[in-house]
Chains A and B, each alone.
Chain A
Amino acid sequence: MAMALRRLDQAIAWLSDLAATLLLVLLVVVVLYNVLLRYLFADPPFWTDRVGTSANMAMVLIGLSLAVRHRDLIAMQALYQRLSERTALILDAVWNASILAFSLIFVWYGTSAAVNMPGMYWDFQSFCIDIDLGPPQSGFLISTVKLFEDAIALLIRPFCVDGAVPQRYMAMLMPIAGGLLVVSSLGVIIADIRKIAATKR
């Protein structure tokens, strides 16, 4: 059982690491693509800023659980110098327990905030509605980009509601990030307790 849980935990860590890193790649690519779009079209579609912002948010919210897992958070260390090893470990466990408590609250109320989140992203209107973007342009690069845009439109269109994409979908990041935080803070607390038990009084 413990073995299975550890496997699961490692799988979650591996997947979040992969996902967050790919989101960073997506961020770079989408921002570069926006520069290209502006160069190609006088009146370019404007979904890229939204995707860039969202990729950044998702990367950060997933990255947080990785930071907790790797004990990578920004904190003052001055006090720790003056503590015994055991006391320092106990203090660490206290902080990690409060992170766990916070994460549970984050999951619960984050779910509620996400489910009730009103509003739409107008940014995807070039995928959701047929807007007349002026006379057709030709050229290899332009037709390639248009083909690419059409492909993304196929992906996005199922999420469109009356010409826009509900903000609610993106807001689900809150409970997801909270859930990942719960798993990772639980993991570090267990490690803390093991270490405390191993040190002599």
Chain B
Amino acid sequence: MTAVLFLLALMVLILLGMPIGFAMALLPTVYIAVTDVAPLTSVPYQMYTALDKFPLVAVPLFLLAGELMNLGEVTDRMLALSREMVGRLRGGLSHIAVMLSMLFASLNGSAVASTATVGNVMIPAMKKAGYSGSYAASVTAASSTIGGIIPPSIAMILFASVTNTSVGKLFSAGILPGILVGLLFMTVGYFVSLQRNYERYDAPFRWIVLGRAFTRAILALSLPAILYFGIVGGVFTPTEAGAVVCLLAFLIGKFVYRSLSYAALWQALRRTVRMTATIFLIIAAAGPFSWLLTTLGALQGLEAWLVGMEGNLLLFLLAFLTIILVAGMLSDIVANLIILGPALLSAAVVAGFTESQAAMVICIGFLLGTITPPVGICYFTASRIASERLERVAVDLVPFIAAEVVLLILILAIPPITGLIPLLAGY
């Protein structure tokens, strides 16, 4: 009960326009001060601890990498080339954003790092090409969830460790759903672009123009290639890759394309600092927020409710998906996976689903939570990059969220989507 009031209060504060990170931090502070359930040192300590994780450094690194690629003309040249290649399709850049996210997903395990990179590159380009900022933000935010679906995936590693499932099995189970969700997003993008009459590049196709665009972009294109082979070859980790891209983008922009000045570099650094701070405020505030929810036993109630429904499959499914989506709307993905994940998995297996099916629905469902309003870290990040109002982005996110829910239902209905590759891989 306390937990429900707690969440309601958060919703009200957010709707009233209080900065979201501070709303999330202030609520547990007030609650603790009034009820004395824990010492108030918990609030600063939990915020501090929430930030004390090495994988988080990927976010500023990739944000900065995006800034440098934009400033150094790297992005421009890559986009010019992709326009020659697929720009004649309706909504060309939107498809490119999805494909770039899928490519990036196979390099990186974090959805928010994916938003940071792809968003910083694609959102400005899309806005320039006539897409609304809110659409650009929503397609990149939605696509970045693929970062946690296509292996490697931090979410799945975490989930495997709390449920004692095999990381290898989860990784292989994520491949087909990751590709499927990409295709679904491109379909959504196509129809939205058609309806809104978004760009279609209509210069006649000429090999010589394509060839010239390719030559101009060849160095820029080597960046993702270096990234890919560096990670696969074990030269650097996906997190370190962010710093490597920063270095390379700087070298190319400064000394090859000669379009990056030191003054612009300094400004890019300052922008990255402020953007990181606004995003990480929410990650930090999620610390005391979910710690207090755990302390209050808020989420155990949900679990008992679910187990009570195992008799009726349809009712169970409804409850199962509802819990995942509602928890995803409100709470942080890490907290959800740790606190709710194990109970949801065992309940779904008891109800007759395979481990791969259940695990994928839970992981993808909670990843979806990173883009669902009112609290979603990728949703905030993309909106922030686009300097777009949250409620506008929320509206444009709806078809993408619906598409991902469709994927969840497909996974539950068709076992091979998550079962085939693990089977072939010998799990």
A and B touch in the complex (CB under 8 A): yes
Chain B residues closer than 8 Å to A78, beta-carbon distance: 15, 17, 389-391
The reply to whether B43 and A105 contact each other, CB–CB distance below 8 Å, is: yes
Among A107-115, A134-142, A156-164, A193-201, the stretch that binds chain B is A107-115
Chain A residues closer than 8 Å to B374, beta-carbon distance: 76
By secondary structure, the A interface counts as helix
Interface residue? B85 (CB, 8 A)? no
Partner of A67, one of B45, B242, B243, B274: B274
Q: Nearest residue in B to A32 (C-beta to C-beta)? A: B243
Chain A residues closer than 8 Å to B25, beta-carbon distance: 102
Q: How large is the interface on B (under 10, 10 to 19, 20 to 34, 35 or more residues)?
A: 35 or more
Chain A residues closer than 8 Å to B281, beta-carbon distance: 60, 64, 67, 73-74
Q: How large is the interface on A (under 10, 10 to 19, 20 to 34, 35 or more residues)?
A: 35 or more
Partner of A56, one of B26, B56, B384: B56
Chain A residues closer than 8 Å to B21, beta-carbon distance: 73-74
What is the interface of chain B, defined by CB distance below 8 A to chain A?
14-22, 25-26, 29, 33, 39-41, 43-45, 48, 51-54, 56-57, 60-61, 64, 235-236, 239-240, 242-244, 246-247, 266, 269-270, 272-274, 276-282, 284, 374, 380, 383-384, 389-391
Other 19 A-B pairs with CB < 8 A, given A32-B247, A110-B41, A174-B44: A25-B269, A27-B60, A53-B52, A53-B56, A53-B57, A60-B280, A62-B277, A63-B277, A64-B281, A74-B20, A76-B390, A77-B391, A102-B22, A102-B25, A102-B26, A106-B44, A109-B41, A109-B43, A112-B41
21 contacts between A and B (CB under 8 A): A17-B270, A27-B57, A28-B61, A31-B61, A31-B239, A52-B54, A52-B57, A53-B52, A56-B51, A56-B56, A56-B60, A57-B52, A62-B277, A76-B374, A78-B390, A95-B17, A101-B26, A102-B22, A102-B25, A113-B44, A171-B48
What is the interface of chain A, defined by CB distance below 8 A to chain B?
17, 20-21, 23-25, 27-28, 31-32, 34-35, 39, 49, 52-53, 56-57, 59-64, 66-67, 70, 72-80, 91, 95, 98-99, 101-102, 105-106, 108-110, 112-113, 116-117, 171, 173-174, 178
